[in-house]
Structure formats: structure tokens, C-alpha cells
Chains A and B, each alone.
Chain A
């Protein structure tokens, strides 16, 4: 695992602030994408399960900081959703351009289902129709992940250049 896991903590804090105080002012088609979730997913797709899991946990932790739900719920659900997708990724051929969109769709659906179940378990009476109303966010995530994945890929190439053996 690289030093990127140490970057994850302050980066996700920043993204958490942006998610809470900035993005609600700029909704896309009436929805606010979950930026920390997508960044963690994109990084995991590029760097593998271990780093993806740590980034997912950090993203969830900071998401919890600015939410009324108990601390740790997003951390757990992000971790499960992103790790599940990263394990699926290993079974598929090397990442193609549109694969991040597919993974973002799957991860968001897993997130919505697990999070609703967990919150209901913790006594938050989330209704099923409230979850279905969030489905547009799945489509939004599938689109938004593409520029995020591209950006994270650029960063990854700079930070971790490929070694070529001669």
C-alpha cells in the first residue's frame, strides 16, 4: 500500500466540506452527487482493493461527520459497497473506458440498499419510496465518475509512474 492512504484522510475531509457546503448550491438535475464516494471508488479502481478500502472508509468517515446518522454508518457502507465492486473488477478484463460507469452504478445501488437497511436497523425509518427517489443519483454517478476517473488516473500516473524493465 502506498503513501496515498495518508493523503486520503485530509483529502476526504476537504471533500466532505465540499459535499456539505458547496455541492448543495450546484445540484445537477436536482441531485447532489456524492463526491467523496466517487473519488474513493475511482482511486480503488486504479489502485486496487487495499487502497480502495482505506479510501472508502475515510470517505465514509468524513461523510458521517456532517450527517445526522451515527458515525461509522457511511464508513461501513462505503467500505462494503466499494470493496464489493473492486472484487468484481478483478473478475473482469482490464478496465475499459466505460467500465467505471458500470462500477459506479453497481456501487451506488449497493450503497443505497445497504445504507437503507443499516439505517432502518439503527432506528431511522427510511421509506422504500425515499430510496427509489434517489435512483436518479445512480445515473448521475455513472456519468460523473468518468471525469473523476480520468482525473484520478492522471494523478495516479504522476504519483505512481509505471516501471519499465529493460
Chain B
């Protein structure tokens, strides 16, 4: 057997082994057989991601500051060192004010719905797959976070917990294709299942009955039906309505209220009172 043939065999051997291993891992993970083992690996990485993300954010802040620095440098030429110090101090205060604003919004949101029990979490990573929309947060099962719990920010619904480790969790964004949220339109009162489009910050509600007059700009809220999400969480606004008299239904295109690129802090709603649907489970006879 010549050398070339041996090399070919080795090549295909490696390829088939790796491909087989990948398929095996996919099957095992899809059937939930790797959950425990993967949590052991993913959990310590939650801490690493948290540390790295914070540093990267700081560097990003530094790099995005050149405009302020340039402005400050012009002023330095004209003013004394004291002014420079004051500028810097001012910058820090603005940073603090920004953080305060975020916390105030979160606090106000928590005050609006005191019956919900929330866990505050920092966003420490985004899905490494550009085609899938999810985030990683720094709270996990040790903090009471469970799969399926809704996640919101001060502006509105963010998504749902998809997977947890003791100290971190992955959240599928509401704009992800696989996401489905029972929702209600604020003014027209039409209800439907809101689905992510997987593109940008938009979602759609299909199959809305034509008798509802859906208006652009209407607020979209969670309906609470199904019990997976609390009632009246803000999701976004209607930005387009696809209505054709030839069809039996209409479709509303929704813009999310949340800027997912700028998400820093989120709430995991760990406990809420689902809307009472017991009336439907009672038989007509009593």
C-alpha cells in the first residue's frame, strides 16, 4: 500500500471519527442525556464570561470615548488643568447618572408589579451563533432561576429562560424564531401568538381576525394566557399591519420595546400569579 493511500485512509478516518462524535453529542444533548455533565463545564465558564464581559465593556467604553476626549483636548488648550479635572469628574458623574437611570427604571418597573418576585441579573454574553438570538445572564439555578421563567428589562419583555447552570442561564430572546408568546394588542384588544422573526428587533402576530381594527403604534402586551408569562408585560408596538380583504386574517408586525444590543441588566420573574383560568376547567354540570 503506498504512502498516499495510507494518508487518505488516515484523513477519512479522522473525518469520520470527528463527524460521528459530533452527531453522537448532538443526539445525546438533544435527548437531555448530557445536561448534568454540560452544567459542570458551563458553570465555571459563567464566572469567566462575567469577568471577561465586564472588562470588555470597560474597554468598549474607553474606545467609544474619543469624541469626548477630543473635545476635552480642545478645551485643555484653552483652559487650565483644573477645568480638565472637572471635565473628567463630570464624565464620571454622567456615567453614574446613566447607571442610576437604569436602576431607577428597574426599580420603577419592580414597583409597578409588586406581586412578582424577580431576580436581577447582568447580561454576560450573547449567543456565539449569529443566527440564534439568545443571551447569557449571571444568575442560575442557585438563585432560583428555572427553565421557562420569563425575563424582562425595564422597557419590556426580553424572553424566556432556556437552559440553566447553577450560576448562569441562557435566555432565548422574544425575537428568536422559535419564540412564541401569547399576546394582546392594547387598544383593539385582539389576541394572538406573537412569534419572533429571527431578524432585527421585529416580531409578528399572525391570524388576527379581520374584525379587529389594528392600528399602527398600538402597544402589544402579554395576554397571560397559557400561564407561562404574567399578564400585561409590555412587548412592543405595532409598526405595520398586513391586511388584505381577500384573506380571512391579518398580520401585525411588532417592534420590540427592548434594545437587545444595549441590554445590561434584566429581571428574571421567578414567581408570579398566573391569570385564573380555572373557570374553563369546571364542567358545565358543576
Residues of A within 8 A of B (CB): 1, 16-22, 24-26, 31-32, 34, 49-50, 53-54, 57, 60-61, 63-76, 79-80, 83, 112, 115-116, 119, 122-127, 129-131, 133-134, 137
Q: What is the chain B residue whose CB lies nearest that of A121?
A: B26
Chain B neighbourhood of A49, CB < 8 A: 11, 15
Query: Are A32 and B29 also in contact (CB < 8 A) when A25-B60, A53-B18 are?
Result: no
Complex Cα gap A133–B198 (Å): 9
Query: Are A75 and B198 also in contact (CB < 8 A) when A20-B128, A21-B49 are?
Result: no
Please tell me if the beta carbons of A125 and B178 are within 8 angstroms of each other in the complex.
Answer: yes
Known contacts A68-B162, A75-B22; 6 additional CB pairs below 8 A are A53-B14, A54-B14, A70-B29, A83-B15, A122-B26, A126-B177
B82 → A minimal CB distance (Å): 34
**SS class of chain A's interface: helix, strand, loop or mixed?**
helix
B204 → A minimal CB distance (Å): 11
Complex Cα gap A1–B56 (Å): 35
B109 → A minimal CB distance (Å): 24
**Count of inter-chain pairs, beta carbons less than 8 A:** 158
Q: Which of B129-137, B149-157, B207-215, B277-285 lies at the interface?
A: B129-137
Is B172's CB within 8 Å of the partner chain A? yes
Residues of B within 8 A of A (CB): 10-11, 14-15, 18-19, 21-30, 34, 38, 41-42, 45, 48-50, 52-53, 56-57, 59-60, 63, 124-132, 134, 136, 162-163, 170, 172, 177-178, 197-200
Q: What is the chain A residue whose CB lies nearest that of B126?
A: A24
Please tell me if the beta carbons of A126 and B131 are within 8 angstroms of each other in the complex.
Answer: yes
B246 → A minimal CB distance (Å): 23
Choice from A25, A70, A116 contacting B131 with Cβ under 8 Å: A116
Choice from B59, B60, B198 contacting A130 with Cβ under 8 Å: B198
Instruction: Report 30 cross-chain contacts, Cβ distance below 8 Å, ordered by A residue.
Output: A16-B128, A17-B49, A17-B52, A21-B50, A21-B52, A21-B53, A25-B59, A26-B60, A34-B128, A57-B22, A63-B129, A65-B42, A66-B127, A66-B128, A67-B132, A69-B132, A70-B26, A71-B34, A72-B21, A72-B26, A72-B27, A72-B29, A76-B26, A79-B15, A79-B22, A83-B15, A126-B198, A127-B197, A127-B198, A127-B199
B17 → A minimal CB distance (Å): 9
A14 → B minimal CB distance (Å): 10
Please tell me if the beta carbons of A67 and B134 are within 8 angstroms of each other in the complex.
Answer: yes
Among B24, B26, B45, B59, the most chain A Cβ lie within 10 Å of the Cβ of: B26
B68 → A minimal CB distance (Å): 18
Complex Cα gap A32–B26 (Å): 25
Choice from A1, A68, A112 contacting B170 with Cβ under 8 Å: A68
Please tell me if the beta carbons of B131 and A112 are within 8 angstroms of each other in the complex.
Answer: yes
Complex Cα gap A75–B132 (Å): 16
Please tell me if the beta carbons of A17 and B45 are within 8 angstroms of each other in the complex.
Answer: yes
Please tell me if the beta carbons of B53 and A131 are within 8 angstroms of each other in the complex.
Answer: no
Among B56, B59, B60, B162, the most chain A Cβ lie within 10 Å of the Cβ of: B56
Please tell me if the beta carbons of A68 and B25 are within 8 angstroms of each other in the complex.
Answer: no
Complex Cα gap A89–B60 (Å): 38
Please tell me if the beta carbons of A72 and B14 are within 8 angstroms of each other in the complex.
Answer: no
Complex Cα gap A126–B176 (Å): 9
B145 → A minimal CB distance (Å): 15
